[in-house]
Chain A
């Protein structure tokens, strides 16, 4: 896939939507949709969230695809219904055209409230791609912590108080949990590595069953950094192994990116306001704990991927 070719493709999420300048979510969506074959129709689904409220302001829509939103916790079941309608009508000869079904859910709608619906849809084997645009908190409602929020991170519901400085728990490893469903294709990606994400999308759309891509999509409003640094922060997330890039094909783990010099966590968090308090000496313990967690998870992943030594 050449970047030059991609630039000539028709954008399926049009400009004019109301997402913030520098929003990671819209970049994730555009990269994913650019990878979709042009001769196949697409139905996009959203749970309630930033992407939904910013792209479908009635009487306008920013989507050139068909699109559905119904509620917050159920994008996977809603889209599984569309896919089932397609299966039924296609089998009956009432629809001839090919379709792809793609859900874009934030981490709140995926890790937390939409988790049951996601798990159910994966188990049922619907042919659909679920993309989590992961910005590690509930950004649409004003930065509340989610199951994807890192240890120590400030959010409005894990505030930095005099007794409790930020979130007290580690995030959960949703990508592995999804992989444990035994679906054909699961991946972790980042908007900083567009070629990787485009390739992963193409793979995901080619499998006959559910697929899932968890995409790190920084939110400058929630993470507190200058809006022009969105891609840079996503890149630092990968380089520090906070957000490793890997894929799981039929249960086999493959590492897609191994930094020559794994950057310390500090490089990643130092420019993010949500972690500012961790740079203070009094919170060093939390920062160390977070680094410990990142390292532990990274080594666990290396083992899963059959990678023996760290570079």
Chain B
């Protein structure tokens, strides 16, 4: 048995435990609600000598990612973690980390973006960073946050990928919710993650290198970006391989997404993050009522597994996409809805794809809301544009 201990822990502790087991050479981080406990717990591990990590307590998130970039350029295995405004402050450096092809791993505890200031969960922060060239793995619960973090290191550092990776977990719902988590043996996790062999390092005296050169005159920029896209395409393959290997070693397979009651479904709901758990419960209840509702839980948002998604959903005529952030496009739909719509453009059978928004700023997402969404799909009774679940419209 690979499980060494099962414990009731909060999500931040599950992530910190993964970080302890990965034992990065350098962690540079800055505290922000609701990520703070990850930094605190990891700092305690450093203080107690449980890890050999050099911890850099920087003065901002911008500096956190900057220091990570410097450290990764120096050939170190590097991690940081953040949330919300912290991720927003890192914005500039997100693109530089991916453009320099540095496999930094960053758990981001999803919290909305100000204003108004609000510390609770939605996906505005990470969805805003969806085009920054980072891999994005969403977690339904603490167990997945733990396991995604372990896999993220392997995926990011793969020679065909070499891209930074975010592990997403919902603020407070996962980060501060106590759940049972099965932890694996240190040695097995370390063997799985493996020793990091940087392809280039500034700290090789025989081969000094220049990192972050200026593409001002000769024009290689476009080619760099094209190569980055190719790396993201490779990540699709590597996410699958690593997920399967994880299954062999630890007993739980990981793919791009997970389905529930989808085989004979007439309508399907798509969710990511903790909302998937709520949706699953709702689907179960709707099934008991005799409604043929299914669910697809998206784990991988970047790269976006469009082809596989279309295949998995090809038999479903009505799909509802649950978005925990908005795009302010002036039209309907959050970012997940837009991606799904786009993925189906070339499909033979085009389903109806309905936009739902829920849970902004930590608004509770109840099974009743998810059931309501499912029923609307079954009855074909949904509004034009986006349907806002749990919005206090009538009260005002």
Q: Which residues from chain A sit less than 8 Å from chain B, CB to CB?
A: 41, 43, 45, 52-53, 56-59, 61, 63-71, 73-74, 76-89, 91-92, 95, 97, 99, 116-117, 119-121, 123-124
Contact = CB atoms under 8 A, between A and B. Distances in A.
Given A70-B93, A84-B54, A92-B52, A58 B218 contact: yes
B58 interface: yes
Contacts, number: 175
A270 to B, nearest CB: 36
A53 B53 CA distance: 34
Nearest to B59: A120
Interface in B32-67: 52-54, 56-60, 62-64, 66-67
B62 A61 contact: no
B62 A53 contact: no
Contacts of A84: 26, 28, 54, 56, 67, 70-71, 76
Contact of A78 (B26, B70, B92, B218): B70
B73 interface: yes
B52 A91 contact: yes
A89 B142 CA distance: 31
A133 B209 CA distance: 23
Nearest to A123: B59
Contact of B218 (A59, A71, A119): A59
B71 A117 contact: no
Interface in B181-208: 202-205, 208
B215 interface: yes
A81 B208 CA distance: 17
Given A53-B216, A81-B28, A88-B25, A74 B203 contact: no
Given A43-B203, A85-B26, A120 B60 contact: yes
14 contacts: A41-B205, A43-B203, A57-B214, A65-B208, A71-B93, A71-B96, A73-B62, A74-B63, A74-B66, A78-B69, A84-B28, A85-B54, A88-B71, A89-B203
Nearest to B202: A66
Nearest to A12: B208
B208 A66 contact: yes
Given A67-B209, A88-B76, A116-B63, 19 more contacts: A45-B70, A57-B218, A58-B220, A70-B96, A77-B62, A80-B70, A81-B26, A81-B67, A81-B70, A81-B78, A82-B70, A82-B73, A82-B74, A84-B70, A85-B25, A87-B54, A91-B54, A120-B60, A124-B56
A56 B213 contact: yes
B53 A74 contact: no
In this complex, the member of B57, B66, B75, B220 whose beta carbon has the largest number of chain A beta carbons within 10 angstroms is B66
Contacts of A63: 208, 210
Contacts of B76: 84-85, 88-89
A149 B93 CA distance: 28
B205 A97 contact: yes
B330 interface: no
Given A64-B208, A71-B93, A117 B213 contact: no
Contact of B25 (A71, A83, A89, A116): A89
A56 B210 contact: yes
Contacts of B218: 57-59
B203 A85 contact: yes
A67 B212 CA distance: 8
| Nearest 3 pairs of A and B residues by beta carbon | A81-B70, A120-B59, A85-B74
B209 A120 contact: no
B74 A86 contact: yes
Contacts of A58: 213-215, 218, 220
Given A53-B216, A84-B28, A67 B59 contact: no
Contacts of B64: 77
B214 A89 contact: no
A146 B71 CA distance: 30
B217 interface: yes
Contacts of A53: 214, 216
A66 B56 contact: no
Contacts of B100: 70
B27 to A, nearest CB: 9
A137 to B, nearest CB: 21
Of B68, B73, B220, most buried by chain A (CB within 10 Å of CB) is: B73
Given A41-B205, A92-B52, A69 B211 contact: yes
Contacts of B75: 85, 89
A74 B93 contact: yes
A81 B210 contact: no
Given A43-B74, A57-B218, A85-B25, A68 B54 contact: no
A57 B216 contact: yes
A112 to B, nearest CB: 15
Contacts of B208: 41, 63-67
B224 to A, nearest CB: 9
Contact of B66 (A43, A57, A71): A71
Contacts of A57: 213-214, 216-218
A65 B203 CA distance: 10
Contacts of B62: 73-74, 77, 117
Contact of B59 (A59, A70, A89, A116): A116
A41 B64 CA distance: 25
